[in-house]
Amino acid sequence: MITSGFSYVAIIVFFAGLVIFTEKNTNLKFFKYIPAIVVIYFGIMIMSSMGIWERAGEIKDYYKSIKHAILPAMIFLMLLKADLRQIVKLGPKMLIAFFSASITIGFGFVVTYWLFKNMYAPDAWKAFAALAGSWMGGTANMVAIQGALQISDSDMGYTLLIDSIDYAIWIMVLLALVPFSKIFDKFTKAESSTLNEVAKNLENENKKHRQNIEFSDMIMLTGTSLLVSALAWFFADLLPHTSFLSGTTWTVIIASTAGIILGMTKFGKLPGSNQVANVMLYSLVGLIASGAKFSELTEAPLYIFSGFVILAVHIVLMIIIAKIFKLDLFSCGIASLANIGGVASAPILAASYGESLIPIGVLMAMLGYIVGTGGGLLVGSILSIM
C-alpha cells in the first residue's frame, strides 16, 4: 500500500497523462465511445477500490493541499478564452438558443428530482448540482461545484456515469439528426442565412491573435493562475459565509469573475491557457476519483435513467421554444451540445453542418464555461429545498 503523499500524487498524474497520451497518439476506437476523462476517473477508482492507497494521513493532506491550490487556478484559466465581447457577436437568435438550452436543462433537473426524490439518498441533490454544472458548461464546472458543495467522491462517481453514458447517446442522436435539418427548419420556419456571416466574422477575429504557444506564455499563465487562486482564497475568508456560500464557493466565484474580466483584455489572448487548465483539470479528476470505490455505486441504474429523463424534458421544451422563436436545428443542436458536451464536442457537431461554422461551436461552448458553475449552483439550491 502507498502511504507517501508524493507517490500518491505522482501515480495519479502519471496515469492521467498516460491515458491522454494514448488517446492522442493511437487510433484506438475505444476512445470514440469512452472519453479519456471517464477512463481516468474509473481507472483511478479501480486503484482505490483495490486498496493501493488509503485517503488518510499524509495522502489526505496532499489531496487537500493540491486541490485547494489548483481548483481556482483551473477555473480562472478556463474562462480566459470566454471573451464576452465576441459572444455578443453571435447574435440574438444564437444566444436565445443557448440560454433556452441552459434553462430547459435546469428545468429537466428539477422535474426529474421531483419525480424520483424519494428514491435518492438525502444528499443526492449535490451530485445532480455537479451534473447540472457539467451539462450547462463542462467538466471544469462540475469539478468546481464538487469543491464548492463538498460533494463526496463516491457521489461524483454517479455524476461521471450519467455524464458519460447519457451524453454519449445524446451526441450520437444530434449527429444523426443533421441530415434532417431542412425538415426541422421548415417546421419551425427558421431563417439561418446569417449563420455563415457570423462564423466568418468570428474566424477573422481569431486570426488576429497569435496561436503558437511559447514558454513565456506557459509560465506567465501558470504563475498568474496560482496567484489568482491564492488571492481568491484570501478574500473568500473575509466574506460572510452561510450554509450554501462556503469559503470554497466564494473562492470559485472570485476566480470565475477574475477569469471573465481578464478574458476581455490582451492577457486573455495569450495562447496556452486551455492547455495549462487541462493539466490541472485532469489532475483534479484523478484526485477526486482516488477517494471513491466501486462498492459505493449501488444506485447506478437509477441515476443513469434519471439522466435520460432530464434529456427528455430538455428535448420537448427545446422543440417548443424553437417553434416559438423560429430557431433552426443547427442553433438548437449546438446550443444543447455546448451545454451538455462543452468545447470537446460542440465544434464536432458544428463541423458536421459545415467547417465554417466551427467557431460558433467553440464560442458557444465557452459561454457554457461562464454560466455552468453559477447555473449548477442555482439548480443545486433549488433541489436542496425540494
Q: Are 12 and 70 in contact (CB under 8 A)?
A: no
Find the length of the chain. Answer: 386
Cell numbers for 276, please give them.
495549462
Within 8 A by CB and 6+ apart from 78, the residues are 138, 140, 259, 273, 274, 277, 281, 369
Q: Are 90 and 36 in contact (CB under 8 A)?
A: no
DSSP 297: -
Nearest CA to 174 among 369, 363, 359, 348?
348
Within 8 A by CB and 6+ apart from 261, the residues are none
DSSP 53: B
Between CA 84 and CA 107 the distance in angstroms is 25
Between CA 382 and CA 129 the distance in angstroms is 9
Between CA 122 and CA 204 the distance in angstroms is 51
Nearest CA to 255 among 72, 81, 78?
72
Query: Per-block average pLDDT, block size 10, for the chain (386 residues)?
Result: 90 93 85 77 85 86 88 85 74 88 95 91 89 88 85 79 80 85 87 63 64 89 94 90 72 86 86 87 84 69 90 95 90 89 76 74 82 90 89
Q: Are 172 and 307 in contact (CB under 8 A)?
A: no
Nearest CA to 172 among 373, 370, 364, 333?
333
Domain boundaries, the chain: 5-384
pLDDT for position 195: 62
Which amino acid is present at 148? A
Burial tier of 59 (Cβ tally within 10 Å: 0-12, 13-18, 19+): buried
Between CA 86 and CA 35 the distance in angstroms is 29
Residue 53, φ and ψ in degrees, nearest 5: -145, 170
pLDDT for position 108: 95
The separation between CA 98 and the C-alpha centre of its own chain, rounded to angstroms, equals 15
Residue 2, φ and ψ in degrees, nearest 5: -80, 130
Cα–Cα distances in Å, from 253 out to 64, 211, 267, 275?
19, 29, 20, 22
DSSP 291: T
Q: Are 109 and 379 in contact (CB under 8 A)?
A: yes
- Using CA of residue 199, residue 205, residue 210, residue 213, what is the dihedral sign? negative
